[in-house]
Amino acid sequence: MRTRQTAGTGLRARKKLTTRQALARAALQLAVERGPGNVRREDIAAAVDVSLRTFNNYFSGKEDAIVWLAVERAAGIGARLRDRPAEEPLGEALIAAFAEQHTQAAPSREWIAQIRVIVSEPELRGAYLKALAEIESVLAEAIAERIGADVRHDLHPRVVAAAACAAERAAIGYWLESDAAVPLAEVVREAIGQVAR
């Protein structure tokens, strides 16, 4: 799975990103409406009015397309961590970076339905776990940069990244299952805080 597109901001790169986003939105919407087992690659391509070949240029399968938007959103954690003030302790920076992702917009009913499909459907687990591993890798690199470590030779950034990502997943799962009036950002902040402490 290919995540966050960082190279190129020219017209061609923007068009490719727009097409990828449209395919991913269509895939996720169809999965919510029909269930992932009832969605074919051809259905996704038709929903965006592109060829199956175009779909195949962007995604290796329908599962990758269905989880892509959630993964793309989560992949921004590394960038948010890099944007935090350099003097801020790592734990505080992680809490802020993760919470910020969930503070920018309150989860809509559509987002909740989409996340439920992604995290609960056995058919999507492989693609989702593969994508999460990529997110952890990006976050580990950002952590290593922040603490002046080399992610290839120091285990600490990988462990912290894995723990923080697991805490976020646990927080989202808890929030989805509970009827608490607490905002998701606060639940995530608490979960990442437990790891940071």
Neighbours of 28 (CB within 10 A): 25
Cβ atoms of 136 and 165 closer than 8 Å: yes
- 59's tokens: 């995604």
The one-letter code for the residue type at 174 is Y
How wide is the angle at C-alpha 137 spanned by C-alphas 57 and 86, nearest 5°?
120
The one-letter code for the residue type at 33 is E
Which positions ≥6 away from 112 have C-beta within 8 Å? 176
Unique residue bearing structure tokens 């962007």:
58
pLDDT band at 118 (very low <50, low <70, confident <90, very high): confident
In tens, the pLDDT along 38-92 reads: 999 999 999 999 999 999 999 999 999 998 887 787 778 899 999 999 999 999 9
In tens, the pLDDT along 130-147 reads: 888 888 999 999 999 999
Looking at residue 5, its pLDDT comes to: 46
Torsion sign, CA atoms 189, 190, 191, 193:
positive
The one-letter code for the residue type at 112 is I
Cβ atoms of 176 and 116 closer than 8 Å: yes
Please state the pTM of the whole predicted model: 0.78
- 175's tokens: 């929030």
Among 186, 184, 196, 191, CA closest to 168: 191
